Chain A
Amino acid sequence: EDKVVQSPLSLVVHEGDTVTLNCSYEVTNFRSLLWYKQEKKAPTFLFMLTSSGIEKKSGRLSSILDKKELFSILNITATQTGDSAVYLCAVVFGNEKLTFGTGTRLTIIP
């Protein structure tokens, strides 16, 4: 059965800290992996990763995919209170559908 597992489930850090969020997967015929940020209601797109070892970066956020070990990490440096959100990982596999993980709830304390 196709599966996406995120860890940790929740994380509380102080402003300015660096965090690493993990996403591992077991899917058949992997196509791509996506990260979304969900602050209040609507998940908003962060990154799409298809190639192993190539880092995607946007400001203080970055992500990398390891297709051999079947995982991805999302890094956030110099965290700010606005980074508080649920971060969702989703994997696209052979039938084009997204399978989501349960998410990591990140709380940044001022």
Chain B
Amino acid sequence: ETGVTQTPRHLVMGMTNKKSLKCEQHLGHNAMYWYKQSAKKPLELMFVYNFKEQTENNSVPSRFSPECPNSSHLFLHLHTLQPEDSALYLCASSPQFSGANVLTFGAGSRLTVL
């Protein structure tokens, strides 16, 4: 375990479902991130929260909705997804949002959209 815990590890959902991914970190970090990892593509940054404030939204479709209630927890709410949204969703944290900080990643949530 890296100190960043993601649940569920696997999720299968239909295009009309609503589900949520959860991320929790026990490292005392203040920045949290959502990344999408698709086959044969680089990791894509989706959202960044720094001290609970959203600082980055990388042109992500509105069917993905992040929530950061405190510095230790991050959610990704999913609704009316498309099959091309199937991917590994990785959560990460760092002491704060700065290029000088190393990200610690969770093990990811593997999402399949039918």
Contacts and interface: CB of A to CB of B under 8 A. Distances in A.
Interface residues of A, number: 24
Give the interface residue-count category, chain B: 20 to 34
Contact of B41 (A4, A97, A102): A102
Contacts of A4: 42
Given A42-B2, A42-B106, A43-B90, A97 B56 contact: yes
A44 B2 contact: yes
B103 A92 contact: no
A2 to B, nearest CB: 11
A32 B43 contact: no
Nearest to A48: B102
Contacts of A36: 105
Contacts of A43: 43, 90, 105
B107 A40 contact: yes
B100 A41 contact: no
A96 interface: yes
Interface string B36-74: 000011110100100000001000000000000000000
Contacts of A88: 43
A11 B97 CA distance: 34
**Closest CB pairs A-B (n = 4):** A92-B99, A41-B107, A100-B43, A100-B42
